[in-house]
Amino acid sequence: MEELDRRIVQLLSRDGRLSFTDLGKASGLSTSAVHQRVRRLEERGIITGYRAVLNHDAAGIPLAALISVIPVDPAAPDDIPDRLRHITALDSCFSVAGDENYVLKVRVASPLELEELLAQIRSAANVTTRTTVVLSTPWEDRSPLAGDEAPAEDG
């Protein structure tokens, strides 16, 4: 990736709502040149979308947890992500090396909701689970392309 494209990606990683004019000022390009570069970055699949960053406490889902899952039957088809895709409390699903097959990042309102979610995951995917509750999040969703600054805590 060219240095100018990398700079544009860094700026958008920090603030996806920057206007093309502001991106141009920060990168030394014209507004139209920035617009063309952003469009090409999207077409190449480097930029795949834009999203709002939530304050999870204010949104009513302050409890984060990481749930490792292992199939009860190791010979069963590896379709765990498909079996769990409908569960909206699941934020991310990572295929991992090691003892577990997947690690799920979840957000819920309370320990009781986490307990209910664990039962739902076990039932839907026929897995055993091991759960780590997140105590605090100094930062998350930091992209290696975003530069040296870690984003502010988003709850």
- State whether 36 and 62 are in the same domain: no
Q: What is the three-state SS of the chain?
A: CCHHHHHHHHHHHHCCCCCHHHHHHHHCCCHHHHHHHHHHHHHCCCCCCCCCCCCCCCCCCCEEEEEEEEECCCCCCCCHHHHHCCCCCEEEEEECCCCCCEEEEEEECCHHHHHHHHHHHHHHHCEEEEEEECCCCCCCCCCHHHCCCCCCCCC
- State whether 121 and 79 are in the same domain: yes
Asked if residue 153 is part of any domain, the answer here is no
The CATH number that applies at residue 31 is: 1.10.10.10
What is the tens place of the pLDDT at every residue in 2-15?
A: 889 999 999 998 88
Asked if residue 143 is part of any domain, the answer here is no
Q: Considering only 39-43, 50-54, 89-93, 149-153, which range has the smallest mean pLDDT?
A: 149-153
- State whether 37 and 61 are in the same domain: no
Provide the pLDDT confidence category of residue 92 given band limits of 50, 70 and 90: very high
- State whether 130 and 63 are in the same domain: yes
Asked if residue 24 is part of any domain, the answer here is yes
Q: How many domains does the chain have?
A: 2
- State whether 74 and 122 are in the same domain: yes
| pTM for the full predicted model | 0.79
Its domain, for residue 120, covers: 57-134
- State whether 28 and 95 are in the same domain: no
Provide the pLDDT confidence category of residue 146 given band limits of 50, 70 and 90: low
pLDDT exceeding 70 applies to what percent of the chain?
Answer: 94
